[in-house]
Amino acid sequence: MKSVYIHIPFCKNICSYCDFCKVFYSSDWVNQYLDMLEKEIKLIYKNEKIRTLYIGGGTPSALNINELIRLFTIIKELDISSLEEFTIECNIEDINKEKLSLFKKNDVNRISIGIQTFNPEFLTFLQRRHTTADVINVVKLIKEVGFTNVNVDLMFGFKRQNIKSLKEDLSSFLQLDIPHISVYSLMIEENTKLAIDKTIEIDDDLNSKMYELINKTLKSNNYFHYEISNYAKAGYEAKHNLVYWNNEEYYGFGLGAASFIKDKRGENTRSLTKYLAGNYIHQEHYLSKKEMMQNEMILGLRKTRGVDKKSFFNKYQCFIGDVFDIKDLINNKYLIEDENKIYIPEEKLFLSNEILINFIE
């Protein structure tokens, strides 16, 4: 069993903060792209049964109906007879009943929508084109078409955002009655419009208070905090994303897509010109046993339940404590070790980058 990620890099609008692999939508490019995507899948996929499938972007929902029909035809190459979860990322402004019904007809069972914030000032700052009224209508439509497994992406930590406006965003989210949320602290990435203004980062203290508020609010509303940025109601954890954090195998098809099969990590080119010319691969790296174990820890410790000691031993025939010097991290309570697992305590998750760096040489 394998998992598959498919990248659709087209967007109708480029947001001020985004450093993801994306280009402006053009129907001419979409057609050529889908041709190459089909070739790539045929070349690389080895007919395994697929357990989770994730179409991300960019904006998959930016494709028009005919392009989406073509995309689903390509997906028929994959053996999805045992598929447990099939997610598609959607943006509010280009989703409608026709597209949602097409998703449903083609076995999609999870919708992920990028909302980011409900605050009009911050929506403008992020250069998002939807309004809160649009969000409410789209969520209603998603439920009407019959999707119950839905995720919302929210961001926090904008300049001028304060605790009160974050509380308002969280309360607007809760009113939507959606079982999963990913909440990201705004990162100012190079080569984005936001990076031009150096004064927009908010201070670490406020950012960590915001993270605390998010944890507290979501937990008190029965969302389980299962990964640094992810919260779910019982039974709604994202199975596909857990494949990444559990260091399990997945194919990655499309522009900039990453893959991990056996001991090989691959990354496709981010150049559309190269991709369309059939030069998919940007780099491939065969991992040593040590690198595999490092990834197991770096990815696994993102989960609040951390890394299972027995599973680690069964996979690598060694004990975590013999491979990594974690005594100081444990003594200083950056890591907790219990009978079964090693994990980062929730109050330290905000510092996870500083903790995880200890597992890289």
Out of 4, 6, 18, 335, name the contact with ligand SF4 by CB under 6 A.
18
Contact pattern for ligand SF4 over residues 58 through 77, marking x by CB under 6 A: xx------------------
Among 14, 43, 163, 330, binds ligand SF4 (CB under 6 A): 14
Q: Which residues bind ligand SAM (CB under 6 A)?
A: 17-18, 20, 56-59, 89, 91, 114, 116, 153, 155, 184, 186-187, 189
What is residue 287's DSSP assignment? P
Q: Choose among 2, 150, 178, 15: nearest CA to 78.
A: 2
Query: In this chain, which of 11, 71, 135, 218 binds ligand SF4, going by CB under 6 A?
Result: 11
Stretch that binds ligand SF4, among 7-15, 47-55, 228-236, 240-248 (CB under 6 A): 7-15
Rounded to the nearest angstrom, the gap between the alpha carbon of residue 53 and the centroid of all alpha carbons in its chain is 13
CA–CA gap between residue 252 and residue 256 (Å, rounded) = 9
> Does 15 engage in binding with ligand SF4 (CB under 6 A)?
yes
Closer by beta carbon to ligand SF4, 29 or else 316 = 29
**Lookup: tokens for 309:** 């000691």
Instruction: State the binding string over 19-48 for ligand SF4 (x if CB under 6 A, else -).
Output: -x-x--------------------------
Residues 171-210 within binding reach of ligand SF4 (CB under 6 A): none
- Tell me the sheet residues that pair with 11: 24
39, 72, 161, 190 from 193: Cα distances, Å: 34, 34, 19, 8
Instruction: Give the contact letters, 81-120, x = binds to ligand SF4 (CB under 6 A), - = no.
Output: ----------x----------------------x------
Alpha-carbon distance of 241 to 244, in angstroms, equals 5
Cα–Cα nearest to 117, from 65, 64, 161: 161
Q: Are 2 and 248 in contact (CB under 8 A)?
A: no
Q: Supply the minimum distance, in Å, between the C-beta of residue 271 and ligand SAM.
A: 19
Residue 184 interaction partner, one of ligand SF4, ligand SAM, none, beta carbon < 5-8 Å per kind: ligand SAM
Q: Which of 68, 118, 60 is nearest to 90 (CA)?
A: 60
CA triple 121-122-125, angle to 5 deg: 95
Pick from ligand SAM, ligand SF4, none: which does 186 bind, CB < 5 to 8 A by kind?
ligand SAM
Q: How far is the CB of 182 from ligand SAM (least distance, A)?
A: 7
Min dist. Cβ of residue 123 to ligand SAM (A): 12
**Beta-carbon contacts of residue 87 (< 8 Å; ≥ 6 apart):** 52, 53, 54, 55, 56, 108, 110, 111, 112, 151, 238, 240
Number of residues that bind ligand SF4 (CB under 6 A): 11
Chain residues that interact with ligand SF4, rule: CB under 6 A: 11, 14-15, 18, 20, 22, 57-59, 91, 114
